[in-house]
Amino acid sequence: MKKYLILFFVILLVVILLIGWMGWKGYQLQKGEISIVTDKTEYESGGILKVKIKNNFSKQICFSSCYPYLLENKNENWESYKYAECQKFDGNGHCMKAGELKAFELTLPQISDGSHRLAIPICIGCKSEDTFKETTRFYSNEFTIK
């Protein structure tokens, strides 16, 4: 009888922990953020940067087909590099479902030394065929160009 009582409490504890963990994961999706992390903190100008993006929103997010990311450098404030105007339809170039994790590679342009970051404009809840409309912008960790 004592064995069954101990087994019951162990199973009850596991169920409570499982429900708590699932609730926490649901909360993370509800709080609405994306995480953007580069593979290194130092790069050479013209080097390959690898970045992982995790969609913690409860909805699909999409990136611009023209400018999926913007590169910024830090002087006194963060400043975006100047880009030419988009010459094509600015649609939702790539979309990520809620909770999805994707990894991307990009070649850094020839840029000045110093602190940089990626600025990622996103559209929350957009459809793939829509015109891109920036809802908000998120930023990667800082990295140094040497």
Stated pTM of the model: 0.72
> Between the CA of residue 78 and those of 39, 95, 142, what are the distances in Å?
21, 26, 11
| Domain parsing of the chain, residue ranges | 29-145
pLDDT tens profile 27-52:
443 456 889 999 999 999 999 999 99
Q: What is the arithmetic mean of pLDDT over 114-123?
A: 94
pLDDT score for 29: 39
Rounded to whole angstroms, how far apart are CA atoms 100 and 53?
8
pLDDT tens profile 47-60:
999 999 999 988 89
CB–CB of 62/94 below 8 Å?
yes
Q: Hunting for tokens 């409490």 — which residue is that?
A: 9
CB–CB of 86/41 below 8 Å?
no
Q: What angle do CA 132, 35, 85 make, to 5 degrees?
A: 30
pLDDT score for 138: 94
Which of the listed CATH numbers 2.40.128.30, 3.40.1280.10, 3.10.150.10, 2.60.40.2550 matches domain 29-145?
A: 2.60.40.2550
CB–CB of 104/37 below 8 Å?
no
